[in-house]
Amino acid sequence: MWKVLIVEDEVFVRASIREIINWSEMGYELIGEAGTGREALDIIRAQQPHVVLTDIRMPEMDGLELVRVSRKEGHASKFIMLTSMGEFDDVRLAMEYGASHYILKLSMTVEHLRDTLQKMATELTESAAAGQSAAKPSWSYEQWWQESGQPGQLGGEDRIYSGISQTPGPYVYVCTVYAAPPESQWLSALQENLERQTSAVHLFRQQGFVFLYIWVHDVPDDDEEAVKRELAEHLKSIGIYTCTERIVPAELMKKSREGLQHLHDHWYGAEGTLAMGREEPEPDIAWELEKSFLTAFEAGDKQVCLNKLEQIWQEIAQMRLSIPHVVRIMERLETQCRRITRKTDAPTLYDQSLTGHEQTKQAMISFVRGQMTHHMPWQEYDHPEVMKIIRYIHQHYEENISVKAMAEKVNMDVNYVSGLFKRKTGLNLISYLHEVRISQARQLLIKTDMPIHQIGEKVGYVHDNYFNKIFKRVTNLTPNEYRRQHHPEIR
């Protein structure tokens, strides 16, 4: 069982999260709850949970500080941040501190939370499997990495290696890998195929990369060629990589750092300097640029959106960001786009291999085009103000929306907007809003076991009776009748 801790200062939200998930069925044990970050930190120190679901804004110690302090103290817990849309800057900082995932509380469904927890369980299982399949050395690669200094300052390696009484072999291959698939899928196969020629295979993770140290004895040249062919056969299918010739142990860390630089050069298609061993988080793309991209995406302005995406990738190249950081930016943009379209079922960008700066940009462009072309849930009309209102309704249907508010948004008279909307769509504005809300409610009734009163609140209806009345007017069924008809196992 993976141990999980819930951290949320709102008692109702905390109780909802606790009750909507069958924790043991998903392989989790709920070990506790906390209402502040300080309470949570005490529990983390005492019980070492594998997963922490935490709000960002809390009294005493907020979620950001909780992640930062936990990482500083060396706790391995994975963090899922619970956030509101207005806390996006905080989310980004949490990810830089080491959070793994985040969920928008406003759009959180049982299915979404289950998917995130399932993904987290898979990551934990794969990490455990990879850790067990790789031999564990009696010394610390982490210590070697820190003590060997920065690039250009590697003179301390002779001192480090002179203190090692025994290595697994007189020679070692150093493979530096940026691999998208889980390590457990390829590491065990690699070890099995190299077992005859090698004395040990060690795995070391640093700065988002995987280093494989493949220790060998003094083997004939023919056997060395076989090892190199086997390595190339496996590594070429899992991501981008570099691999050294057979070297002596004293060159191990120097070659590791050179491998990082070679991958960085390959990614950007030119030589440059890769900053390694940063004590502070890497710089990020300008928030105003990212915000303008998301604003254009939300408005359905494809050309502006793609232009902003091009500018983002230009900024990434200028800053020469590390490969893991670029991938985190992609994940962040993709997640926000999916939140806007409310479509989370399409394949992610990580179902494909990412091999370079230009290739990732093209992958992101294709993703954005696909989302904007195929997944916008509204019909297009030939009036820009009507489309602006429609987009707003689809993206904010759970909020308090009125004809007056929409008229102010497009700077038009209330009566004129009311008549214009009816002429263009065939529905008055409030009827259109009800259609959108009830459409979303139908999906929640079918796909989740969320209580009906919570579904009503989630789609914008504060009062149960009003929700039931509108739902029956649109569907000719009550919410209970609709759920029994389409989801009979939930009562």
Check residue 237 and give its pLDDT: 67
pLDDT tens for each residue of 342-355: 665 555 665 456 77
Q: Say yes or no: 262 and 297 in one domain.
A: no
Lowest mean pLDDT among 182-191, 386-395, 434-443: 182-191
Any idea what DSSP says for residue 250?
Answer: G
Flag the least confident range among 13-17, 297-301, 361-365.
297-301
Residue 48 domain flag: yes
Instruction: Quote the pLDDT of residue 257.
Output: 80
Residues in a beta bridge with 241: 177
Q: How high is the pLDDT of residue 401?
A: 92
Examine the domain organization and report whether 189 and 116 are in the same domain: no
- Is 136 a domain residue? no
Is 3:31 a contact under the CB 8 Å cutoff? yes
| CB-based burial label for 275 (10 Å; 0-12, 13-18, 19+) | middle
* 7 and 120 part of one domain: yes
The predicted structure's pLDDT at residue 310: 93
Residue 284 is predicted with a pLDDT of 76
Same domain for 421 and 388, yes or no, is yes
Question: Per the domain annotation, does 147 fall within a domain?
Answer: no
Average of per-residue pLDDT values in the chain: 76
Q: Model confidence at 163, in pLDDT bands (50, 70, 90)?
A: very low
Residues 302-311, mean pLDDT to the nearest whole number: 88
Give me the mean pLDDT over the 7-23 stretch. 85
CATH assignment of the domain containing 454: 1.10.10.60
Position 279 confidence tier, pLDDT thresholds 50, 70, 90 = very low
> Looking at this protein, which amino acid is placed at residue 111?
E
Percent of the chain with pLDDT over 90: 15
Higher pLDDT, 283 or 458: 458
What's the structural domain count of the chain?
4
Instruction: Write down the pLDDT at residue 52.
Output: 93
Rg (CA), the chain: 27
Amino acid (one-letter) located at 298 = E
Residue 309: the pLDDT is: 93
Confidence of residue 164 (pLDDT cuts 50, 70, 90): very low
Q: Are residues 334 and 403 in the same domain?
A: no
* Lowest-confidence segment of 95-109, 160-174, 230-244 by average pLDDT: 160-174
Please compute the mean of the pLDDT values over residues 274-293 and round it to a whole number.
Answer: 66
Quickly state the pLDDT bin for 312 (edges 50, 70, 90).
Answer: very high
What's the CATH number where 120 sits? 3.40.50.2300
Bridge partners (DSSP) of residue 240 are 178
Residue 383 clears pLDDT 70, i.e. is over it: yes
Angle, vertex CA 392, rays to CA 424 and CA 330, nearest 5 = 130
Last residue of a domain, one of 327, 347, 374: 374
pTM comes to 0.50
DSSP letter (8 states) at residue 247: B
Residue-wise pLDDT for 103-147, tens only, equals: 776 666 777 788 888 888 887 876 665 544 444 444 456 555 555
Please give the angle made by the CA atoms of 244, 281 and 71, to the nearest 5 degrees.
90
Of 268, 297, 322, the domain-final residue: 268
Whether 275 maps to a domain, the answer reads no
Q: Which of 147-151, 217-221, 364-368, 434-438 has the lowest mean pLDDT?
A: 147-151
More reliable by pLDDT, 167 or 40: 40
d(CA 41, CA 304): 44
Q: What is the pLDDT of residue 152?
A: 31
Per-residue pLDDT at 273: 47
Q: Judge if 250 and 294 occupy the same domain.
A: no
pLDDT tens profile 197-228 = 667 777 776 656 777 788 777 666 666 677 77
Render pLDDT for 394-431 as a digit per residue (tens, 0 to 9). Answer: 878 889 999 999 999 888 899 998 999 988 888 899 99
* Band of pLDDT at residue 448, cut at 50, 70 and 90: confident
Backbone phi, then psi, for 198, in 5-degree steps?
A: -110, 160
Q: What pLDDT score does 350 carry?
A: 53
The residue type found at 377 is P
Same structural domain, 32 and 83: yes
What is the SS3 assignment for 18?
helix
DSSP 199: E
370, 397: one domain: no
Residue 491 lies in a domain: no
Q: 368 and 416 share a domain? A: no
> Residue 215: which CATH number?
3.30.70.1150
Q: Answer with the residue of higher pLDDT: 112 or 316.
A: 316
Please identify, among 106, 131, 156, the residue that sits at the C-terminal boundary of a domain.
131
| Model pLDDT for residues 35-90, shown as the tens digit of each residue | 888 899 889 988 889 999 998 888 778 888 888 888 777 777 889 888 765 555 66
Q: Are residues 397 and 361 in the same domain?
A: no
Q: What is the mean pLDDT of residues 144-172?
A: 47
Range of 248's domain? Answer: 168-268
Q: How far apart are CA 367 and CA 379, in angstroms?
A: 21
Q: What tokens does 69 get? A: 């302090």
325 and 259 together in one domain:
no
